[in-house]
Structure 1
Amino acid sequence: MTDLTDQVAIVTGASRGIGRATALLLALQGAKVVAVARSAEELEELNTKTQGLAIPADVADEADADHVVAETLSRFGRLDILVCNAGVGSFNLLENMESAEWDRIFDVNVKGTFLMCKAVVPHFKAQGHGHVVAIASDVARRTFEHGTVYGASKSAQDALLGSLRKEVRPHGVKVSTIYPGLVDTYFNESKPGGVEAEKTHLKPSDVAQAVRYVLEAPAHVVVDELMLHPITQEW
């Protein structure tokens, strides 16, 4: 298994939910975690536990994405892992969605993934290794009512990652995509009916363990895609 000790990992959307759980778990495994989110206060609280680096940033802003990578390299002198977790959603009938919501969701879910990958990939290729792990969603592979815009963004993100995977593999760089089902986080508050307190929902820690699983796979093992089922918690 790959040892995560002293590996440097950027985790976006780290202030809450899946991102926070992932940052905490990677730090526990010995990684140096660079936590990225827009909330400086929540990041600083997290950083007291991870003892890494907290960088308030908007992943949909190219200057911010470049700044995150530059600060990481300046602080630690290396970069091994990018966890693209930042995401937003809004759930409504198509005719009730505003174009501004389309822009916001695609900016974070698709453009944010694009910009963060664009910032790290040249470094990964130059050093001959690196691992991008993206938290997508099972809705990239299925559709549901009220999910037109969010589902479209996740399908676009999925296509981006699939193409990137083929581009970087000859350079020793891995790209893994995780597709969680329903996860018990604040994210559900924006869904019709509010928070669903289903015992069958995944926990943020379940997704964090899936991230750890793909990162710790032996160097010769490539986990391209990992579907995480909420009922059985199997992956």
Structure 2
Amino acid sequence: MTDLTDQVAIVTGASRGIGRATALLLAMQGAKVVCVARSADELEEVAHKTRGLAIPADVSDADDAQNVADEALRHFGRLDILVCNAGVGSFNLLEHFSATEWDRMFDVNVKGTFLLCKAVVPHFKAQRSGHIVGIASDVARRTFEHGTAYGASKFAQDAVLASLRKEVRPHGVKVSTIYPGLVDTYFNDSLPGSPDAEKTHLKPSDVAQAVRYVLEAPAHVVVDELMLHPLTQEW
């Protein structure tokens, strides 16, 4: 298994939910974590627990995204892992979506992934190592009512990661994609911990364990896709 000790990992959307669980777990495995999110107060709390670096940023802003990579390199002197987890969602009939809602989902879910990857890939290629893990969704592989905007953004994010995987593999860089089903988080303004969610949803820690699994796979093992099934909590 690959040792995560002292590897430097950027985790976006680290203030809550999947990102927070991932940041905490990677820190427990010895990684040095760069916690990225827009909410500075919650981010500082996570960074304190991980003994890592907090960088408040909007991943959909090109300058912010580049600054995250630059600050991580300045602070730690190296960069090994990028977990693209930041995401937003809204669900409604197509005719009830506003253009603003559509743009925000594509800005965060797709453009945010693109910009962070763009910021770290040159460094990863130069050192001939690095691992990008994208937290997509099972709706990147299926469609459902009220999911036109969110589903489209996740299909697009999946395409970005799949194409990038082919571009960087010859340079010794890995790209893995995780497709969780329903996860019990604050996503879509919901509150975690309801009795129903306990029965039907994954926990953020389940997804974090999947991230750990792909990161710790031996160098010669490539895990391109990992689907998480919420009803059975198996993967």
Aligned to 1:47: 47
Instruction: Say if 1:94 and 1:146, in contact at 8 Å, map to a contact too.
Output: yes
Aligned to 1:225: 225
Q: Deviations over 1:26-82 (max 9, x none)?
A: 000000000000011001111110001000000000000010000000000000000
Aligned to 1:60: 60
Question: Post-superposition shift, 1:186?
Answer: 1.0
Q: Which residue type is aligned with residue 80 of structure 1? A: D
Aligned length: 233
Aligned to 2:22: 22
Question: Post-superposition shift, 1:198?
Answer: 4.5
> CA separation in 1, counterparts of 2:181 and 2:217?
22
Q: Is 1:71 matched with 2:71?
A: yes
Q: Deviations over 1:145-175 (max 9, x none)?
A: 1111000000000011100000000000000
> CA separation in 1, counterparts of 2:88 and 2:75?
29
Structure 1 segments of 4 or more deviating over 4 A?
none
Aligned to 1:201: 201
> CA separation in 2, counterparts of 1:211 and 1:111?
21
Structure-2-length-normalised TM-score = 0.97
Q: What RMSD in Å do the two structures reach over aligned CA positions?
A: 1.4
Instruction: Say if 2:90 and 2:188, in contact at 8 Å, map to a contact too.
Output: no
Q: Is 1:5 matched with 2:5?
A: yes
Aligned to 1:84: 84
Identity among equivalent pairs (%): 84
Structure-to-structure mapping, 1:93-172, within 5 angstroms: 93-172=93-172
Q: Which residue type is aligned with residue 74 of structure 1? A: R
Instruction: Say if 1:184 and 1:201, in contact at 8 Å, map to a contact too.
Output: yes
> CA separation in 2, counterparts of 1:69 and 1:196?
39
> CA separation in 2, counterparts of 1:109 and 1:133?
14
> CA separation in 1, counterparts of 2:180 and 2:165?
19
Q: Which residue type is aligned with residue 121 of structure 2? A: V
Question: Post-superposition shift, 1:221?
Answer: 0.4
Question: Post-superposition shift, 1:232?
Answer: 1.6
Aligned to 1:176: 176
Q: Deviations over 1:99-136 (max 9, x none)?
A: 01010000000000000000000000000000000000
Aligned to 1:216: 216
Q: Which residue type is aligned with residue 124 of structure 1? A: F
> CA separation in 1, counterparts of 2:118 and 2:168?
12
Structure 1: stretches of 5+ with no match in the other structure = none
> CA separation in 1, counterparts of 2:9 and 2:94?
37
Instruction: Say if 2:88 and 2:188, in contact at 8 Å, map to a contact too.
Output: no
Instruction: Say if 1:58 and 1:65, in contact at 8 Å, map to a contact too.
Output: yes
Structure-1-length-normalised TM-score = 0.97
| Residue 195 to residue 159, structure 1, CA distance change in 2 (3 Å) | farther
